[in-house]
């Protein structure tokens, strides 16, 4: 190569690098941008799809640096509203927020039914025995609160007068509150209902005995829906892969239940897997009947809530693109 040609080649290379490096740097920064996903606990069936997506690399496979952050139920909502949290992994409280006019929507349903169980102190044998007792919930307007109200009304108890609701936190916190005696009843999920039964507490019923209702999902600020639609689709795609992993990798999930959830009895792990496996969504789109149920329940906890349609609280277009 002659000196003249070498000079032209060098100049051309520099020009190319000048164009490429900022683009590559921007791409790298985008791929590494931290995405926060708010949950109330890492353990339990409702948290499992998010934790599996994080730990097994499904978020990373979509180019997302998403991490699970544990916080109180209402803090999840407030975090998404203030945009300090990118996604919320809870459900009813976001439905309630959307019904109140807050700029949030559910974009994915993770569980089409609830594996929430009503667990009570040893001396409470029937739902009717809850009169005058303290009922632990995650937050007012959250899923456990809505479920509790539905159960109490089904058994002719007045939720406003016959029990005292206490905001405690996620399932793990409610289980500990039951153990300490500060509450006498709570809606809790596996593995905590099984741990409670081993300690002599009573499991009176499962919420699916009352009605079908989604309990896990993905909620976002409506501004993010406009700004980062592709990111939302990737988040949903990662979670759909996680749900498929849960369905097809039973041995791995049983290992998680053993090592992370602390359930050592093989027969209990098998029972828990069997209880939850049929509840996970295959499409990420909440069934209409279940969505109508959750809207109705949330309306009953928020007496001034206006009439609401599914489209007011959920947008399934991202889940359809993620298929």
Residues in contact with 267: Cβ distance below 8 Å, sequence separation at least 6, in sequence order: none
Which is higher by pLDDT, 44 or 226? Answer: 226
Going by pLDDT thresholds of 50, 70 and 90, the confidence category of residue 2 is low
Residue with tokens 């499904």: 58
User: Which residue intervals of the chain are DSSP H helices?
Assistant: 3-32, 48-55, 58-61, 73-82, 92-99, 143-154, 171-180, 192-198, 222-227, 229-248, 250-259, 266-277, 288-301, 310-313, 317-322
Least confident of 3-12, 33-42, 142-151, 235-244: 3-12
Tokens coding 301: 């906890």
Percent of the chain with pLDDT over 70: 90
More confident residue, 276 or 7: 276
Give yes or no for residue 183 having a pLDDT over 70: yes
The answer to whether 41 and 172 have CB atoms below 8 angstroms apart is: yes
Instruction: List pLDDT tens digits, range 283-297.
Output: 999 999 999 988 988
Domains of the chain: 29-113+214-322 (3.40.190.10), 117-209 (3.40.190.10)
Give the integer Cα–Cα distance in Å for 266 and 182. Answer: 31
Taking each helix axis from N to C end, the angle separating 48-55 and 250-259, rounded to the nearest 10 degrees, works out to 100
63-87 pLDDT, tens per residue?
A: 999 999 999 888 999 999 999 999 9
228, exposed or middle or buried, with CB in 10 Å at 0-12, 13-18, 19+?
A: middle
Residue 224 half-sphere exposure toward CB, CA atoms < 13 A: 26
How far is the C-alpha of 39 from the C-alpha of 85, rounded, in Å? 10
User: pTM of the predicted model, to two decimals?
Assistant: 0.77
What's the whole-number average pLDDT of the chain?
87
Sole residue written with tokens 């632990």: 136
């Amino acid at each position: 190569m002659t000196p003249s040609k070498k000079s032209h080649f060098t100049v051309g290379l520099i020009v190319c690098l000048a164009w490429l490096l900022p683009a590559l740097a921007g791409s790298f920064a985008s791929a590494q941008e931290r995405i926060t996903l708010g949950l109330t606990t890492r353990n339990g069936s409702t948290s499992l799809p998010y934790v599996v997506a994080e730990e097994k690399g499904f978020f990373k496979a979509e180019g997302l640096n998403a991490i699970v952050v544990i916080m109180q139920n209402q803090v999840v909502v407030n975090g998404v509203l203030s945009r300090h949290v990118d996604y919320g992994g809870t459900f009813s409280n976001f439905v309630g927020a959307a019904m109140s006019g807050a700029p949030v929507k559910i974009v994915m349903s993770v569980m089409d039914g609830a594996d929430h169980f009503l667990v009570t102190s040893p001396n409470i044998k029937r739902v009717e025995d809850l009169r005058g007792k303290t009922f632990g919930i995650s937050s007012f307007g959250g899923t456990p609160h809505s479920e509790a109200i539905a159960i109490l009304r089904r058994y002719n108890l007045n939720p406003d007068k016959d029990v005292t609701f206490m905001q405690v936190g996620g399932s793990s916190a409610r289980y500990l509150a039951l153990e300490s005696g500060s509450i006498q009843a709570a809606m809790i999920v596996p593995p905590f209902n099984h741990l409670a039964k081993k300690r002599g507490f009573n499991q009176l019923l499962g919420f699916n005995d009352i009605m079908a209702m989604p309990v896990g999902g993905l909620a976002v600020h409506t501004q993010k829906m406009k700004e980062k639609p592709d990111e939302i689709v990737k988040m949903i795609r990662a979670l759909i892969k996680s749900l498929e992993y849960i369905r097809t990798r039973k041995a791995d999930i049983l290992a998680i239940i053993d090592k992370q959830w602390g359930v050592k009895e093989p027969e209990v792990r098998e029972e828990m897997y069997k209880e939850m496996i049929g509840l996970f969504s295959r499409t990420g789109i909440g069934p209409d009947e279940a969505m109508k149920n959750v809207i109705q329940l949330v309306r009953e906890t928020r007496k001034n809530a206006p009439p609401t349609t599914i489209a007011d609280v959920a947008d399934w277009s991202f889940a359809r693109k993620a298929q």
